């Protein structure tokens, strides 16, 4: 598929859930966001149907994201469906890595090819600070606990060691190349980014440094080590967990696959791709998965 600005569209990012077990400071408010209702979330067979149509129209790369994709139950069964689709040559996942260690082997067996793991610091305290530990990340709708309870919860929360174990497990399972996503405030020279770069060098991993996007203004910068933020080379469409095809992360436009059918929604999304991202008022990154 070629969009109105001559760009080849061959990459579909699929957000499988808006839920997450972390509350990264740059992504979600501490108390979380109103969740999409269960009935509105696409079923695995519906997602597979969209991917089948997209592959038929020329999409070759598919990435599962979220929210946190590993919080959706039995994501392996979706991966099995997607891995069978003719034309899908690259099937990847972006994950925070906290739930990856026990799942790496089953994900690989299901047909996942590789993972990108988000890692913003290799300092355990900074990691807990950035991800807000577990203390506010309560999916049961109860209020965030007070500071005392919070520190106990943080001690039990998924933390840096879970992510590093997840990366090791992904490497051992062959979910390779494992790449890291690291959000930076200003520069690749800040201490957290340098720590991640050193760790990546020791482990032989590639890192993409992503300038923190200001979700209030929608401003974003060019990714260092990847194509994100380079509108002239954009090849992506995005499917939200509630079934909208979005032409651009930084736009509020979307086409419902349930109302229009996958093929029509895909082709309208391609035709509506803007030349460059504008300001997104509804902060889709949290729903669309970056």
Between 47 and 288, CB nearer to ligand SF4: 288
**Residue 96 contacts ligand SF4 per CB under 6 A:** yes
Judged by beta carbon, residue 273 or residue 287, the one nearer ligand SAM is: 287
Point out the residue whose Cβ comes nearest to ligand SAM.
290
Residue 283's alpha-carbon distances to 118, 171, 271, in angstroms, are: 19, 33, 22
Return phi, psi of residue 55, to 5°: -65, -40
In the structure encoding, which two tokens stand for residue 55, read together?
A: 């592959």
The C-alpha atoms of residue 183 and residue 200 are separated, in whole angstroms, by: 14
- Residue of 183, 237, 250, 280 that binds ligand SAM (CB under 6 A): 183
Which of residues 42 and 288 has its CB atom nearest to ligand SF4 in the complex?
A: 288
Which residue, among 88, 170, 158, has the nearest Cα to 130 in the 3D structure?
158
The binding track of 114-153 with respect to ligand SF4, each residue x by CB under 6 A or -, is ----x-----------------------------------
Task: Examine residue 68 and tell whether it contacts ligand SF4 (CB under 6 A).
Answer: yes
Q: What are phi and psi of 161, to 5 degrees?
A: -65, -35
Asked whether position 20 contacts ligand SF4 by CB under 6 A, the answer is yes
Listing DSSP states for 154-206 in one string gives HHHS--HHHHHHHHHHHHHHT--S-EEEEEESS-TTSHHHHHHHHHHHHHT-E
Q: Confirm or reject binding of residue 26 to ligand SAM (CB under 6 A).
A: yes
- Find tokens 């590639």 and name the residue: 206
- CB distance 59 to 11 below 8 Å: yes
What's 71's DSSP letter?
G
For the CB of residue 68, give the shortest distance to ligand SAM in the complex, in Å: 4
Part in contact with ligand SF4 (CB under 6 A); list of ranges 24-32, 159-167, 227-235, 267-275: 24-32
Identified binder of ligand SAM from the candidate list 112, 173, 269, 285, rule CB under 6 A: 285
Q: How far is the CB of 236 from ligand SF4 (least distance, A)?
A: 18
Least spacing, CB of residue 164 vs ligand SAM, in Å: 15
**Within positions 46 to 105, which residues make up the interface with ligand SAM, using CB under 6 A?**
65-66, 68, 94-96
The rounded distance, in Å, linking the Cα atoms of 262 and 88 is: 17
Q: What is the distance between the alpha carbons of residues 233 and 194, in angstroms, rounded to a whole number?
A: 28
Residue 23 makes contact with ligand SF4 by CB under 6 A = yes
Q: Among 118, 122, 113, which residue's Cα sits nearest to residue 96?
A: 118
* Tokens 């651009």 belong to residue: 248
Stretch that binds ligand SAM, among 140-148, 191-199, 205-213, 233-241 (CB under 6 A): 205-213
From residue 204, alpha-carbon distances to 92, 104, 161 in Å are 19, 19, 18
Select 66 or 166, whichever has its Cβ closest to ligand SF4.
Answer: 66
Secondary structure (3-state) at 81: helix
Q: Does 27 bind ligand SF4 (CB under 6 A)?
A: yes
- Polymer length of the chain: 290
Looking at residues 120 to 179 of the shown chain, list those that interact with ligand SAM (rule: CB under 6 A).
none
* Contact partner, 23, from ligand SF4, ligand SAM, none, Cβ < 5-8 Å per class: ligand SF4
Site of interaction with ligand SAM (CB under 6 A): 20, 26-27, 65-66, 68, 94-96, 118, 181, 183, 210, 212-213, 215, 285, 289-290
């Amino acid at each position: 598929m070629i969009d109105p600005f001559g760009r080849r569209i061959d990459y579909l990012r699929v957000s499988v859930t808006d839920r997450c077990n972390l509350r990264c400071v740059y992504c979600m408010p501490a108390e979380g966001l109103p969740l999409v209702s269960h009935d509105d979330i696409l079923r695995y067979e519906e997602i597979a149907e969209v991917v089948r149509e997209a592959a038929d129209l020329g999409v070759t790369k598919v990435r599962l994201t979220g929210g946190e994709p590993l919080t959706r139950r039995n994501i392996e069964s979706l991966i099995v469906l997607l891995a069978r689709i003719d034309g899908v040559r690259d099937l990847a996942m972006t994950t925070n890595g906290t739930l990856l260690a026990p799942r790496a082997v089953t994900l690989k067996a299901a047909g996942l090819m590789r993972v990108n793991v988000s890692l913003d610091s290799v300092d355990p305290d900074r990691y807990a600070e950035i991800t807000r530990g577990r203390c506010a990340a309560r999916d049961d709708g109860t209020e965030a606990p007070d500071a005392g309870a919070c520190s106990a919860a943080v001690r039990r929360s998924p933390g840096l060691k879970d992510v590093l174990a997840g990366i090791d497990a992904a490497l051992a399972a062959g979910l390779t190349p494992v790449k890291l996503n690291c959000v930076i405030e200003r520069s690749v020279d800040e201490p957290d980014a340098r720590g991640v770069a050193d760790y990546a060098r020791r482990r032989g991993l590639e890192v993409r440094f992503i300038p923190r996007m200001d979700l209030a203004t929608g401003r974003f910068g060019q990714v260092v080590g990847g194509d994100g933020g380079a509108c002239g080379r954009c090849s992506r469409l995005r499917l939200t967990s509630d079934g909208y095809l979005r032409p651009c992360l930084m736009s509020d436009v979307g086409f419902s696959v349930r109302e229009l059918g996958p093929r029509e929604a895909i082709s309208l999304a391609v035709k509506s791709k803007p030349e460059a991202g504008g300001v997104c008022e509804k902060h889709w990154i949290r729903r669309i998965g970056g």
